[in-house]
Amino acid sequence: MVDCSPTRRSFVKGAGSLAAVAAAAGAVTSAGAFGRGDALASDASPSERVVWSRCNVNCGGGCWFQYHVVDGKIAYMESDNTGSADFQGRACLRGRAMRKWINHPDRLMYPMKRVGKRGEGKFERISWDEAIDSIASALKRVIDTYGNEAIYVNYGTGMYSVTGRTSNRLMNVLGGSLRSMFDYSAHMAEAAMPFMYGVSLNGSSMTECLKNSDLLVMFGNSPAETRMGGGNIVWDFTRAREALKERGGKIVSIDPRLNESVSGHSDEWIPIRPGTDAALCSAIAHEWIVEGKVDKEFLDTYCVGFDEDTMPESARGMNRSYRDYIMGTGYDRVEKTPEWAAPITQVPADAIRRLAADIAAAKAPFITQGWGSQRHSNGEDTCRAICMLPLLIGKWGLPGTNSGEREGMPGALVKTIPNGENPVKASIPVYQWVNAVDHGKDMTALNAGVKGVDRLPSDIKFVWNYAGNCLTNQHGDVNYTHDVLVDESKCEFIVVYDTVLTDSAKYADILLPDAMRAEQLNMHTQGYSEWYLGVGLGGPAQEVPGECRSSYDVCADIAERFGKREEFTEGRTQEEWIRFLYEQGAQADGNMPTYDEMLKMGVYKRPLPPKVAFAEFRADPVANPLKTPSGKVEIYSEQLASIADTWDLGADERIFPIPVFQPGHHGYGAVTDEFPLYCCGFHHKSRTHSSFGFIEELEKVARQQLWINPIDAEPRGISTGDMLAVSSPAGEVRIEAKVTPRVVPGTVAFPQGAWHKADMSGDRVDHGACVNTLTQYRPTPLAKGNGTHSMIVQVERVR
């Protein structure tokens, strides 16, 4: 029923030319766009209704769903089958399990209030009126006592939909809330890259690699695991693999794991000790400098600080250039040879030289990093160090190349409901929220990365947590966070608004049940695939169960308690907002169908051309300067030099103006007799973080297991399937073993997102194997971010 269509996606041979693909696609309709009109004959019987929706979790896929509704109930679901085989945003196994989630017996059905101690997870059903009164009076009390700076909307990514996230809009109508910067995904890259590039997250599209590259080098990037689904980059990546092969090129994956993007293919895996990519990149730089492969003209024209010739005035004659660091004439005075890097990275010196030669020989190397390599305690250095590679050889801003950042993500045809203006100026790095609950008033611009004010005027006293599990499960160090949250004198009120009783939900004072996307009219844009732009519109497919309510309506009710309903809604219902946002997008675009046509089509897609990052700057650096102070790429950043001089840093924390290798907290060299193994997290295919983590069928497909190399498993008497006790300085979990040569020796790998399951008033041993039972809460030096992939552990067999 789902995948048996005769025109299911097939690989187009010789697909080097996206233009050809797009042209062929354009033949489907005159506009080159696809919608319901192009759908394959569906199996729907006349009594069935087909309702479009989209996967709302945060994996970036944005895959489309078609719910088949019989007698008012979703009978089964199908994914996207409209238009050319190339443009079908088909859902992965998780998305196809959405029906199980919607109809799950564990769905939250009624508003509830806490009856036990905070964190115990004991609740009692209340009415919506009581819930809203209670939230409104807590908000009033906190605002009157501490100011709007004491209100915080916690990070939460479970909801992608144009009207799904209304939390900030509500708080802004009520006078604002403490702001946050960056996110849990790319925290270190987002904080560090603007110093170098003037922006962050500016990568070429994977479709550009497909079109013009002859070598794809991926640092900690696994599209087959973290960009799953037809609406995602794994599709672009799969096509790129084909095109590269036809051009005689290849894919190199640098990862502590032989990840699923390269396993089963003849591509190259370079196993690396986690957190040491900057050492590898430094050694490649050394090799290129001594071999004369560096493009000095490019570096002199476009960059600042490669060598003395382009150092800014403030740092001249001090041996502070990147070249001085690499050649051992500045900073630590150590020459960064491949022999120096080999014991650090576990990559042999000759393999480093070979990689250096391969990259230099490629006409258009596409060098990209995922965010796994930057989610470390030294992530700010790592992401910049990787970006040095294309810069050093001048293969940057040109066809088939990339900036060294993660491949780009397309824009959107429609906007989300606006947040409005936040009158509060104070802002914290997002990962600092637990510190801001615990001791916000001690946090300053210099010791905590606070912006907008010199010092936070208040601790956080009210947390609103919508569609997120970052109170505990997805935040660093669950045990520590638990201790902070259970102290009601610190955070006085917590609202959690979700669909199931997550670990975070247990900390709610008021727990609200959301209506799922399938249960309301829903509009959404395409995901990260760069093949097309798209919009989907449809619903509801099924009635809302119990007393679940949409966040839009609930936020409007809360605003009403403050006499601000009208300000919140601007006179529109959610449905009217969706129409308004669509028509606004369609007007700006000029090519989209009308709203009424869209309602019939369900999904609209059209091809998207590839993109080369920084192409304009490369073409004319004077007319198109970067947003850095010098207008150029700042390999040496005076701003970072000044931060390094003025910030209050820990004794073992350092910030450098150039990209260097430093091990970082719990990085290289940190293992001890008690914790002799490095442990590295990764995003797992059976879940999106913790989302879907309670669907048993998915857990059976891809189990929560600790990857351990036979070299580390044998002396511990560990075989696949054994139950293990894994402990770190922060806590202990129980998890099944997967003994495999697919992980670098000395490091174990741990899928993030499993549901925390521990007796928190007892031994706190986590039988659910949530990685954040093991991570420490230690914000990184510059970003103050979640370097949570840096861990040290001991692994023992439980007998």
Ligand X SMILES: Nc1nc2c(c(=O)[nH]1)N[C@H]1C(S)=C(S)[C@@H](COP(=O)(O)OP(=O)(O)OC[C@H]3O[C@@H](n4cnc5c(=O)[nH]c(N)nc54)[C@H](O)[C@@H]3O)O[C@H]1N2
**Can you give the C-alpha Rg of the chain in angstroms?**
26
Stretch that binds ligand X, among 51-59, 71-79, 129-137, 617-625 (CB under 6 A): 51-59
Q: Considering the complex, what minimum distance in angstroms separates the CB of residue 689 from Mo ion?
A: 7
Nearest to 14 by CA among 355, 320, 247: 247
Site string for ligand SF4, 467-496 (x = CB under 6 A): ------------------------------
3-class DSSP state of 79: coil
Q: Considering the complex, what minimum distance in angstroms separates the CB of residue 578 from ligand X?
A: 16
Q: Which does 221 bind (CB under 5 to 8 A by kind): ligand SF4, Mo ion, ligand X, none?
A: ligand X
Stretch that binds Mo ion, among 181-189, 216-224, 286-294, 303-311 (CB under 5 A): 181-189
Site string for ligand X, 469-488 (x = CB under 6 A): xx---x--------------
For tokens 């009217």, what's the residue? 576
- Tell me the CA distances in angstroms from 192 to 155, 368, 717, one per residue in order: 20, 16, 43
Instruction: Name which position in 33, 39, 57, 748 contacts ligand SF4 (CB under 6 A).
Output: 57
Q: Is 690 in the site for ligand X (CB under 6 A)?
A: yes
HSE toward the beta carbon, residue 452, CA cutoff 13 A? 16
Q: Is 274 in the site for ligand X (CB under 6 A)?
A: yes
Nearest to 251 by CA among 293, 299, 217: 217
Stretch that binds ligand X, among 354-362, 513-521, 565-573, 611-619 (CB under 6 A): 513-521
Instruction: Name which position in 522, 637, 775, 794 contacts ligand X (CB under 6 A).
Output: 775
Q: Considering the complex, what minimum distance in angstroms separates the CB of residue 90 from ligand SF4?
A: 8
- Strand runs labelled E in 333-437: 365-369, 427-429
C-alpha 620/C-alpha 642 separation (Å) is 29
Site string for Mo ion, 129-168 (x = CB under 5 A): ----------------------------------------
- Tell me the two tokens of residue 639: 């701003």
Residues 603-632 that bind ligand SF4 (CB under 6 A): none
3-class DSSP state of 794: strand
Q: Which does 231 bind (CB under 5 to 8 A by kind): Mo ion, ligand X, ligand SF4, none?
A: ligand SF4
DSSP string, 3-28: S--TT---PPTTTT-HHHHHHHHHTT
- Tell me the CA distances in angstroms from 632 to 301, 618, 625, 636, 678, one per residue in order: 8, 10, 6, 11, 38
3-class DSSP state of 437: helix
Instruction: Name which position in 83, 95, 203, 476 contacts ligand SF4 (CB under 6 A).
Output: 95
Instruction: Name which position in 52, 65, 182, 184 contacts ligand X (CB under 6 A).
Output: 184
C-alpha 439/C-alpha 449 separation (Å) is 14
Q: Which does 176 bind (CB under 5 to 8 A by kind): Mo ion, ligand SF4, ligand X, none?
A: none
Residues 672-691 that bind ligand SF4 (CB under 6 A): 688
C-alpha 326/C-alpha 294 separation (Å) is 13
Closer residue to ligand SF4 in complex, CB, 65/302: 65
DSSP string, 23-65: HHHHTTSTTS-B-GGGPPPP---TT-EEEEEE--STTS---EE
Instruction: Name which position in 21, 33, 51, 92 contacts ligand SF4 (CB under 6 A).
Output: 92
Q: Which does 732 bind (CB under 5 to 8 A by kind): Mo ion, ligand SF4, ligand X, none?
A: none
Q: Considering the complex, what minimum distance in angstroms separates the CB of residue 88 from ligand SF4?
A: 12
Q: Is 534 in the site for ligand SF4 (CB under 6 A)?
A: no
C-alpha 213/C-alpha 627 separation (Å) is 27
Say how far residue 703 (Cα) sits from the centre of its chain: 22
C-alpha 460/C-alpha 471 separation (Å) is 13
Instruction: Name which position in 25, 33, 39, 63 contacts ligand SF4 (CB under 6 A).
Output: 63
Q: Is 688 in the site for ligand X (CB under 6 A)?
A: yes
Q: Which does 513 bind (CB under 5 to 8 A by kind): Mo ion, ligand X, ligand SF4, none?
A: none
At a CB cut-off of 8 Å and minimum separation 6, what does 42 contact? Answer: 50, 66, 78, 81
Q: Considering the complex, what minimum distance in angstroms separates the CB of residue 474 from ligand X?
A: 3
At a CB cut-off of 8 Å and minimum separation 6, what does 484 contact? Answer: 434, 437, 438, 490, 491
Q: Is 158 in the site for ligand SF4 (CB under 6 A)?
A: no
Instruction: Name which position in 203, 231, 394, 476 contacts ligand SF4 (CB under 6 A).
Output: 231
Q: Which does 539 bind (CB under 5 to 8 A by kind): Mo ion, ligand SF4, ligand X, none?
A: none
Q: Is 165 in the site for ligand X (CB under 6 A)?
A: no
For tokens 């009109």, what's the residue? 37
Q: Is 61 in the site for ligand SF4 (CB under 6 A)?
A: yes
- Tell me the CA distances in angstroms from 412 to 65, 473, 518, 534, 582, one per residue in order: 19, 30, 21, 8, 11
C-alpha 238/C-alpha 210 separation (Å) is 9
Q: Considering the complex, what minimum distance in angstroms separates the CB of residue 660 from Mo ion?
A: 26
Q: Is 685 in the site for ligand X (CB under 6 A)?
A: yes
- Tell me the CA distances in angstroms from 626 to 189, 431, 609, one per residue in order: 17, 28, 23
Closer residue to Mo ion in complex, CB, 528/636: 528
Closer residue to ligand X in complex, CB, 82/688: 688
Q: Is 527 in the site for ligand X (CB under 6 A)?
A: no
Nearest to 61 by CA among 586, 415, 530: 530
Q: Is 226 in the site for ligand X (CB under 6 A)?
A: yes
The conformation of residue 688, written as its DSSP 8-state character, comes to B
Stretch that binds ligand SF4, among 53-61, 114-122, 463-471, 599-607 (CB under 6 A): 53-61
Residues 60-89 that bind ligand X (CB under 6 A): 60
Decide: residue 128, CB within 10 A, 0-12 exposed, 13-18 middle, 19+ buried.
Answer: middle
Q: Considering the complex, what minimum distance in angstroms separates the CB of residue 37 from ligand SF4?
A: 23
Q: Is 769 in the site for ligand SF4 (CB under 6 A)?
A: no
- Tell me the two tokens of residue 342: 């080999």
C-alpha 796/C-alpha 799 separation (Å) is 9
Instruction: Name which position in 82, 88, 161, 185 contacts Mo ion (CB under 5 A).
Output: 185
Contacts with ligand X by CB under 6 A lie at: 56-60, 156-159, 184-185, 219-222, 225-226, 228, 254-257, 259, 272, 274-275, 277, 370-373, 375-376, 466-470, 474, 497-500, 502, 514, 516-517, 680-685, 687-691, 752-753, 771-772, 775, 788-789
What residues make contact with ligand SF4 under the rule CB under 6 A?
Answer: 55, 57, 59, 61-63, 91-92, 94-95, 228-229, 231-232, 527, 688
* Residues making contact with Mo ion (CB under 5 A): 185
